[in-house]
């Protein structure tokens, strides 16, 4: 199965890094964005399979990419289920969640 690519967008640098480390350890390729403009740029160049978004609005031009909102996500099992559904593969949530 080809590697899945995930774009993680959040203003919290610690959350971005925790998700990057966890997702890469599961075999995903990961791009990070701290602003909506970066999310749009990275989505255009990296063509992610899924967006993981916290505290940022998803630009309308990215509506065709499956998106998982991390806002209020405190249950790692729920996060895993949503990523599986969106990305089609399993990952473990970072311990910080």
Q: How confident is the model at residue 74 (pLDDT cuts 50, 70, 90)?
A: low
Of residues 57, 61, 52, 64, the one with CA closest to residue 28: 52
37 Cβ neighbours under 8 A, 6+ residues apart: none
Mean per-residue pLDDT of the chain: 79
**Mean pLDDT of the 26-43 span:** 91
51, containing H or E segment: strand 50-53
Q: How confident is the model at residue 88 (pLDDT cuts 50, 70, 90)?
A: low
**Mean pLDDT of the 40-54 span:** 91
Query: On the CB side of 31, how many CA atoms lie within 13 Å of its CA?
Result: 20
Residue 30, beta-bridge partner list: 6
**pTM given for the model:** 0.76
> Which domains does the chain carry?
5-87 (3.40.50.2300)
């Amino acid at each position: 199965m080809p590697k899945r690519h995930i774009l993680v967008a959040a203003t919290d640098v610690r959350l971005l890094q925790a998700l990057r480390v966890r997702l890469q350890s599961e075999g995903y390729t990961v791009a990070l964005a701290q602003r909506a403009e970066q999310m749009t740029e990275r989505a255009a160049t990296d063509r992610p399979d899924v967006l993981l978004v916290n505290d940022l609005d998803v630009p309308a031009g990215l509506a065709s990419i499956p998106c998982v909102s991390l806002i209020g996500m405190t249950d790692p099992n729920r996060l895993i289920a949503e990523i599986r559904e969106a990305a089609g593969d399993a990952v473990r949530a970072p311990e910080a969640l």
